[in-house]
Structure 1
């Protein structure tokens, strides 16, 4: 096993569930927070016993809304990780948050606890659109939260944004990008809205009460690429842009199909070519760890074919694509030997380009899912 791995910590609690969100997160479960943190710390200890040689390369605390819970819990989680795992020097340690759930004092605690990267869920800077999304923060709260973070000394800050929203004009999106870039965050994640089944947005969409303009959504994406690259951001993954030296190392672990461990309810792990996941139920997760049992609900042993497919469709998300040499060194065969006809077809369709690396073209970015499916 490669001893270096990423560590993901899942905090499933939110002040309010956003209307578009299908992540495993919950509001109105405040009474579960303390027992959940106790269980989380227990899982960290049990995982460290099971895998004593692990060296943690990155830590990402996500959710949910990790900044919703008391900051003392984040400090306790970080202490438990440090007491049980070896962490590399200058490890990237990210905390995801909603600007409506933390203040100067919480940010100070995060900094003191070892967090060195913030990921702020802004989504848009228009208050009317934030309200439509069910977000609990305002533009003013975001600006205050960002300025507080800078004042405290957070130099590595990501901003999450969403485009293709109902009632969002091109002018709205351009204004959002311009206002955010003016703050000079080191990283931006710009996602197209996906309406997921089981969400309030899905019901509204099904009833015809909201509409998505797909042509406008593509125009927004093209503008995003052009504008952010003109502002000094490197477009390094389909939805991600970074200043030099500030790519998200944790997410690159996923896209490079490297080992990672997920801690918390609903968390997924990838170790020794096995994918395993924890119980979705917060109650079942807590109960399992109260009995000193790891809360694993399923284990899937990946075949060589599974691993190759994941390597390709995750690796092609990166703008630099996948290395033919790395493919050969990892799997003992040339990528052309396995996928020659598929590669030639995609080249003819101008969806991929071939050289030392195989990567999506600009057109391929628009038809990424079609390209990925071609390798399955």
Structure 2
């Protein structure tokens, strides 16, 4: 168990002790009207900036903005670091549910961890609100009546970014792929779009996950293939290091294009516009997209670590908890806690709407639907100031952005 997770559990124990100091009837009333949210993500590794403490800040902002306290709903939050390891994530999830009465597991970047959590939550009839694991299998063969997939997935990323690169003439590809469930799914889905458009995949190389910061040999293999596009089927620190080293080797100066298939605004910030300019990426949230996203960002910014602007995974946590707490307030805490499936069904039955992610719906397979945005990273001369990084190339309507519901092989749809 990580030191961070132990601190989270100690915090939960302190909260329980505080209840004990109250009169018994007051403590029982508070407990009966309390829901517990477990934020499970990478607090210390290569996904820290894209999730980590920023997701926690966004969840706490959602609790405040939801107004549920005025309706008698108490909310407790515990936080765990899964270290990008399925065994650690599984252990924390079981302890939270079996010992600490956690009702909702949230966020969970790293698809291999998310798939493990998905199974445990279904067994225990709790709720999994996935914001940051990308594998489209969560609404496909591994779909669950207890899970909702918010924010983005590999099919959407492949269709938007991959499709745009092919249309721009990138008809031969070589993939540098993180060797776990997310990377495999992103390579698989992007390869499908490349081939469907008449392109070819010339090869791929799998990179250790986690475990490498040196991508030089992988970039050499990619260049040797003479592919027009090098597809980066990775994320976070791996994406940053791949792009930095590609720039050092002059990869793009030789005419090869880089496709950052999953890139976050914190990645662009780490790279700097001089290095990241011209890259194309797909997001379902951008802090400067409209008046509502700017208002949300202004509220949460004082709590964001290091002055970072929220990225789409963190904004997805806000959106998911806003919708969950609205549902809990309508159902009543005892009913919402009694059955994860019933609560998820209630969440699916009504539209979502919040300042971070706007309006949306949730399909029977658990896919949360909303428009998707293709951005190009600005040049230093185009940027008007701090964090002004993106220019919008196109907006894809929700119905076109995600995999058709009948094509995912989800048992919830077949039944």
State the TM bucket, normalised to the shorter chain.
under 0.3
Query: TM-score when scaled to structure 1?
Result: 0.28
- Between Structure 1 and Structure 2, the one with more helix by share is 2
| TM-score, normalising length: structure 2 | 0.26
Which one scores higher on RCO, CA 8 angstroms, separation ≥ 6? 2
